């Protein structure tokens, strides 16, 4: 490993600190026990395969039935989940565990961090767009196809991608301004942007500015949009006189609401837990929830909560086009 020594000087007159310009970083292993490595490999590999195949089936189900609720957004969400988990898990199970190495190059770390931000933020944006789709479907059902026309759907997805890309580029520009680092150890099993920012040669004020920007783009704006959409949805549902009508209407967005709660619940839970925990390994294990478990559960949620997706999967399972264990798992999981 090529390491060059530098002195980190802060603009607020703090004492200089010796830092390095590394060519590689060391990631944190989930467990140091060699006997647990095959078990970790099997668990992550099985969950990765279920996630990829499950999301591919959702994409296939949506593309085979144009009448599914917000099909274009749902297929893009499944694609984004697949890309999101693929930025971290394949390297971990096929490189880190197999070679017993925790090393990742500087360029590889920056690439993984960029993709993590892009697809993570893309998930946020798509969930917000899908909340808007639920709002239109419930509050303006007669004008649904007119409002959410193909041109608008493509524009919303493209805008989501551009916002995610901008978020990643700005974050990278800030980090690349400080190419020297106080340490080469990253306290997670992947290049977590927050961890990389903490060990960069930047002052606390710059870190806070970057984190506030990322939280605003990736959290505050999407949550505000989702909350406003569901405020309108609930207001519309409360005006329905019958209890059965309220339940039937609300079930239209049940799968989306479940995914939103899972996505933000696990994300906030992990970061709040990491803030009060003094063990980096516990934080890394907890981060598995939103990086691996959440993308894996999304296909199951849409299978259980969305009758249209469930019906289409039955048709796919009974046809000669698609059959296999993953279809059976998604089909008979309820």
The CA angle 299-300-301, to the nearest 5 degrees, is 90
Q: Is 242 exposed, middle or buried (0-12, 13-18, 19+ CB in 10 A)?
A: exposed
Q: Is 144 or 68 the better-scoring residue by pLDDT?
A: 144
When pLDDT is averaged across residues 140-167 and rounded to a whole number, the result is: 91
Structure confidence at residue 131 as a pLDDT band (50, 70, 90) = very high
pLDDT top residue among 288 and 5 = 288
* For residue 294, pLDDT beyond 90: no
Is 25-331 in CATH node 1.20.1070.10?
Answer: yes
- The pLDDT, as a whole number, for residue 198 is 76
pLDDT band per the 50, 70, 90 thresholds, residue 197: confident
Question: Average pLDDT of 221-241?
Answer: 91
How far is C-alpha 62 from the chain's CA centre?
A: 21
pLDDT tens figures, 62-85: 777 655 555 788 889 999 999 999
Query: Cβ distance 104 to 139 under 8 Å?
Result: no
Q: Would the pLDDT of 318 be above 80? A: no
Which pTM was predicted? 0.83
Q: Are 290 and 262 in contact (CB under 8 A)?
A: no
First to last CA, the chain: 51
What was the pLDDT predicted at 333?
46
User: Where are the chain's structural domains?
Assistant: 25-331
> How confident is the model over 5-29, as a mean pLDDT?
62
pLDDT above 90 (res 298): no
Using the Cα atoms of residue 163, residue 164, residue 169 and residue 170 in order, give the sign of their dihedral. positive
Contact between 118 and 103 under an 8 Å Cβ cutoff? The reply is no
Split at pLDDT 50, 70, 90, the class of 309 is low
Nearest to 137 by CA among 12, 22, 253, 227: 253
- pLDDT of amino acid 282: 75
């Amino acid at each position: 490993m090529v390491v060059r020594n530098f002195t980190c000087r802060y603009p607020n007159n703090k004492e200089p600190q010796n830092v390095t310009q590394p060519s590689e970083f060391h990631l944190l292993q989930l467990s140091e026990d060699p006997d647990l490595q095959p078990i970790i490999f099997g668990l992550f590999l099985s969950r990765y395969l279920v996630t990829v195949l499950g999301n591919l089936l959702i994409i296939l189900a949506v593309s085979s039935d144009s009448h599914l609720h917000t099909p274009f957004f749902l297929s893009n969400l499944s694609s984004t989940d697949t890309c999101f988990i693929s930025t971290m898990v394949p390297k971990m199970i096929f490189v880190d565990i197999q070679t017993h190495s925790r090393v990742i190059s500087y360029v590889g770390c920056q690439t993984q961090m960029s993709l993590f931000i892009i697809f993570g933020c893309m998930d946020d944006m798509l969930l917000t767009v899908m909340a808007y789709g639920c709002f239109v479907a419930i509050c303006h059902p007669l004008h649904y196809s007119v409002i959410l026309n193909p041109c608008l759907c493509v524009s919303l997805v493209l805008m989501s991608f551009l916002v995610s890309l901008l978020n990643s580029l700005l974050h990278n520009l800030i980090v690349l301004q400080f190419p020297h680092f106080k340490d080469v150890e990253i306290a997670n099993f992947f290049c977590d942007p927050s961890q990389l920012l903490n060990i960069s040669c930047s002052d606390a004020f710059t870190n806070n500015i970057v984190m506030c920007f990322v939280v605003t783009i990736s959290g505050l704006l999407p949550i505000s949009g989702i909350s406003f959409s569901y405020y309108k949805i609930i207001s519309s549902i409360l005006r329905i006189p019958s209890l059965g009508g309220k339940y039937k209407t609300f079930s239209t967005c049940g799968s989306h609401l479940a995914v939103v709660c899972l996505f933000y619940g696990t994300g906030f839970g992990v970061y709040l837990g990491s803030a009060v925990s003094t063990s980096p390994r516990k934080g890394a294990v907890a981060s598995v929830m939103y990086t691996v478990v959440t993308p894996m559960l999304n296909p199951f949620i849409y299978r259980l909560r969305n009758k249209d997706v469930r019906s289409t999967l039955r048709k796919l399972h009974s046809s000669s086009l698609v059959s296999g264990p993953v279809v059976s798992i998604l089909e008979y999981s309820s």
